[in-house]
Amino acid sequence: MTNAPTQPRRVLIVSANPLFREGLRKMYAERWGGKASIVGTPTSMTEALLSLETHQPDLVIVDYDDKTINRDEFMNSFVTGKAPMQVMLVSLKESGHVVVYDRRTLTSAQAEDWLNDPWSE
């Protein structure tokens, strides 16, 4: 029995702050190794939205404090999209809290299971 190689998770880091981007890139490169690939580091709202379409990332890490990223517009794009993806909002100013949004498609049976016990995962 052969295990099919799994593709590395595609990660997008969205921030105009070069220290924030590089710090996250290094941290996750060390932690995930070959399990993840940083596919882009957009620094503006326009680049971020284009990167969502172009790279179809599995995980998007967004600098919550970045004033160049319109969070409402970004989250609207996330909510209306269809591809499975997670968005992690990280703040340098308010340490301790990270907000993760998970967009995925469930079968009706999976949705029913989730509605019965959403914390069982």
Would you kindly state where each structural domain of the chain is located, as residue ranges? 9-116
Which structure tokens are listed for 51?
């990167």
Instruction: Judge whether residue 118 has pLDDT over 90.
Output: no
Question: pLDDT tens digits, residue range 42-98?
Answer: 999 999 999 998 999 999 999 888 888 888 888 888 877 777 888 888 887 777 677
9-116, what's its fold?
Answer: Rossmann fold (3.40.50)
pLDDT higher than threshold 60 for residue 3: no
| pLDDT grade for 39, boundaries at 50, 70 and 90 | very high
State the Cα–Cα distance between residues 103 and 85, nearest whole angstrom: 5
pLDDT at residue 66 in the model:
84
Cα–Cα dist 92/63, whole Å: 8
Q: Work out the pLDDT band at 41, boundaries 50, 70, 90.
A: very high
pLDDT in tens, 13-26: 999 999 988 988 88
Burial class (CB in 10 A: 0-12, 13-18, 19+), 60: buried
